[in-house]
Amino acid sequence: MSNSPLKIVVVGHVDHGKSTLVGRVLHETGALPEGKVEALREVCDKRGMPFEWAFVMDALQAERDQGITIDTSQLYFHTGERPVLIIDAPGHKEFLKNMITGAASAEAAVLVIDAHEGVQEQSRRHGYLLHLLGLTQIAVAVNKMDLVNWDEARFREVEAEIRAYLAGIGVTPTHVIPVSARSGEFVREKGQAAWYKGPTVIEALNGFNGAAPATDQALRLPVQDVYKFDQRRIVAGRIESGRLKVGDRLVFSPSGKSARVATIEDWAGEHVTTVASAAGRSVGFTLDEPIFVERGQVAHLADNSPVLAHEIRARVFWLGREPLVKGDRLKLKLATAEYAVEVSAVERVVDVADLASHEAEVVQKNAVAEVVLRSRAAIAFDAFGANARLGRFVLVHGFDIVGGGIIAEAAAASRNIYAVDHKVTVDTRAVANGHKGGVVWLTGLSGAGKSTIAMELERRLFQKGWQASVLDGDNVRHGLCSDLGFSPDDRAENIRRVGEVAHLMAKAGLLVVTAFISPYRADRDRVRAIDPDAFHEVYVATDLNECERRDPKGLYKKARKGEIPEFTGISAPYEPPAEPELHLDTTGKSIDESVAELVAYIEARFGNLALVQASA
């Protein structure tokens, strides 16, 4: 049996005794610190309340006062046969968010049901939620059997009801166990119910199967961040599954960039060389090529990639105060990645009380729904059944978690889309045009002169016989990006679209001049990463005071009055290029002088065809 602890979640309707059961299990297995029970009894005596085993887990003061569990507690213990990490999750409807936090990492579950009250609405919700989270190993503890005098008929009635419900969601409970958590009967030792021949709770825990080793699954390493030390760029992240070794050729999804692992900068010690690492380890590694990598990308091997899709079909447990409806925009967090998503369809809403499903356009709080979520950026994921580590997500609105769920499949996967090779090469086009294609990216504040310079540059290059074209920030927002606003997410998507179009035009042999504020350095770096050799960043360096003095469109005046939100330089940031290919200082220069400097740069970088002609 594995030495890794089995992660088990214990759930149930409020007051059905799940925390009492957990407290009793800890006591029976000798997991409680010496004197813990006595200390709790003393606290209860001082408060004039009877001792409850639940108080072992209910660590928060508010829980002792209210008598309900409002947090998720975790504790290790050993059954005598295996280590267990048991999670006590709250059962009250208002605290389902916390329950999801606890249940999301579990490998198996114990569902607690009161023998007297029977299966309640919350019991059904918890049962379906465990199924939603992909848990199939579920033992049912029918608690408080002492209150019904260990009546076998009542036990069989509750057992039949919960088995029928779980069967309807495709789950067969491993065991249904009669229990009295207060007295300890059938927790570790057998009790007075001679008619029950099955295992105790502890024996049932020993019978659960641990999850398949993560090291045996495909490599999945979500990038946490990229750090620069001396001359090294260290990509850092946690290996969620699979193995990593020096020499592996990694692909980073969804960008598709690829490079080999040069070194693994593990936490092994100053004089220890690490050549391999495996699931569960946090590592840093360097690459043999300076490709663009950023937080949220998933590193994997080329022969076993995650799914890439803009639309996913998911099962969501909705926790938001406001109903979920088609068109809602949310943030989806998957591993280290964050995606701006829109609800493109609500396909089915499930009534967890009786599992009846129906078509609906609104998902109310605490409801389960099958929905389609659409992202502007491609999402890299695994279906939950294939690899749970990249198949679970949470939904966030503002700063609040409003839902959790699992990915069932791609609504429109892009795995079957392949690049088509052109018959006319880039070099052939360059020879025919008399210059190389490329992207000259003008960035700077509003009023810096980007558009004016770009349009004059296009005219002069055309007069010289160049195939040149301008993509201007205002112009593309009338068509290609007319659906976007000026929030950080929309600005990023605006630049992404323009960057893709610009590079397609550059591959067709055009010299593409773009004139965009493009305020965020990371967005410009993403455009560069599409084809680093073709991308030339030009910083039109006009300071804010000069831009505001010019103010050709009167935008700065409106921004100062608060009439234009998210205005770059005033109410939104601008991040200047760190190392642009050309620093174009327009201070004290005419348009002609600035354009002349830019033309000279372009002719030197894109007009020298000696090397191209020699290889053609």
pLDDT at position 64: 45
- For residues 37 and 365, which has the higher predicted lDDT (pLDDT)? 365
Residue that terminates a domain, selected from 410, 435, 450? 410
pLDDT of 498-523, one tens digit each?
999 999 999 999 999 999 999 888 88
Q: Is residue 419 part of a domain?
A: no
- What is the overall mean pLDDT for the chain? 84
Shared domain check, 171 and 65:
yes
Shared domain check, 265 and 137:
no
Phi, psi (degrees; rounded to nearest 5) at 443: -130, 145
Which CATH number goes with the domain that contains 325? 2.40.30.10
Q: Is residue 415 part of a domain?
A: no
Shared domain check, 24 and 170:
yes
pLDDT at position 546: 87
Q: Is residue 1 part of a domain?
A: no
Secondary structure (DSSP) of 506-562: HHTT-EEEEE-----HHHHHHHHHH-TTTEEEEEEE--HHHHHHH-TTSHHHHHHTT
Could you say which DSSP state residue 568 is in?
Answer: B
d(CA 33, CA 381): 42
pLDDT of 376-414, one tens digit each?
888 999 988 788 889 889 999 988 999 988 888 887 654
Q: Is residue 420 part of a domain?
A: no
Which CATH number goes with the domain that contains 590? 3.40.50.300
pTM: 0.57
Range with the largest mean pLDDT of 62-66, 181-185, 349-353: 181-185
Shared domain check, 356 and 263:
no
pLDDT at position 612: 46
Q: Is residue 592 part of a domain?
A: yes
**Bridge partners (DSSP) listed for residue 300:** 251
d(CA 551, CA 446): 8
**Bridge partners (DSSP) listed for residue 287:** 261
pLDDT at position 59: 44
pLDDT at position 167: 87
Residue 267: pLDDT band by 50, 70, 90 thresholds? low
Residue that terminates a domain, selected from 189, 207, 225? 207
Task: Tell me if residue 329 falls in helix, strand or coil.
Answer: strand
Identity of the amino acid at 22: V
Shared domain check, 185 and 320:
no
**Bridge partners (DSSP) listed for residue 276:** 245
pLDDT at position 15: 84
CB contact at 8 A, 474 and 486: no
Asked whether the predicted pLDDT for residue 92 surpasses 70, the reply is no
Give the end-to-end CA distance of the chain in Å, rounded to a whole number: 64
Q: Is residue 476 part of a domain?
A: yes
pLDDT of 445-461, one tens digit each?
988 889 999 999 999 99
How many structural domains does the chain have?
4
pLDDT of 552-571, one tens digit each?
888 888 888 888 888 888 88
**Bridge partners (DSSP) listed for residue 307:** 381
Shared domain check, 179 and 232:
no
Give the list of residues 6+ apart from residue 200 with CB closer than 8 angstroms, or none: 177, 186, 187, 188, 189, 190
Count Cβ neighbours within 10 Å for each residue of 343-361 and write b for 16 or more, e otherwise.
bbebeebbebeeeeeeebe
d(CA 400, CA 365): 14
d(CA 557, CA 550): 11
pLDDT of 309-322, one tens digit each?
889 999 888 889 99
d(CA 16, CA 148): 14
pLDDT of 270-311, one tens digit each?
556 688 999 989 999 999 988 888 999 999 998 899 999 889
Average pLDDT over residues 459-486: 89
**How far lies 456's CA from each of 4, 90, 452, 593, in Å?**
67, 66, 6, 11
Residue tagged 């001792």 (tokens)? 51
Give the number of C-alpha atoms closer than 13 A to the C-alpha of residue 337, restricted to the C-beta side: 28
Q: Is residue 306 part of a domain?
A: no
**How far lies 522's CA from each of 31, 369, 402, 446, in Å?**
50, 35, 28, 19
Asked whether the predicted pLDDT for residue 470 surpasses 50, the reply is yes
Asked whether the predicted pLDDT for residue 331 surpasses 70, the reply is yes
pLDDT at position 162: 93
CB contact at 8 A, 494 and 481: yes
SS3 for 180-194 is ECCCCECCCECCCCC
Identity of the amino acid at 309: A
Shared domain check, 104 and 22:
yes
pLDDT of 174-226, one tens digit each?
899 999 998 889 999 998 899 999 999 999 999 988 767 888 899 999 999 99
- For residue 331 the two structure tokens come to 């943030």
Nearest 5°: the CA angle 495, 522, 377 is 55
Residue 168: pLDDT band by 50, 70, 90 thresholds? confident
Nearest 5°: the CA angle 259, 263, 269 is 155
Residue tagged 């938001």 (tokens)? 320
d(CA 366, CA 318): 5
Q: Is residue 128 part of a domain?
A: yes
d(CA 473, CA 518): 9
Residues annotated catalytic, as ranges: 518
* Radius of gyration, CA atoms only, the chain: 31
Average pLDDT over residues 485-507: 89
CB contact at 8 A, 435 and 467: yes
Burial degree of 3 (CB within 10 A; 0-12, 13-18, 19+): exposed
pLDDT at position 61: 41
CB contact at 8 A, 411 and 307: no
Could you say which DSSP state residue 241 is in?
Answer: B
Shared domain check, 194 and 223:
no
**Bridge partners (DSSP) listed for residue 600:** none
For residue 283, give its domain range.
Answer: 214-301
Shared domain check, 171 and 81:
yes
Could you say which DSSP state residue 322 is in?
Answer: S
Phi, psi (degrees; rounded to nearest 5) at 547: -60, -40
d(CA 241, CA 218): 6
CB contact at 8 A, 142 and 43: no
Shared domain check, 123 and 62:
yes
Residue 62: pLDDT band by 50, 70, 90 thresholds? very low
Residue that terminates a domain, selected from 410, 444, 464? 410
d(CA 342, CA 346): 11
Shared domain check, 517 and 443:
yes
Shared domain check, 184 and 108:
yes
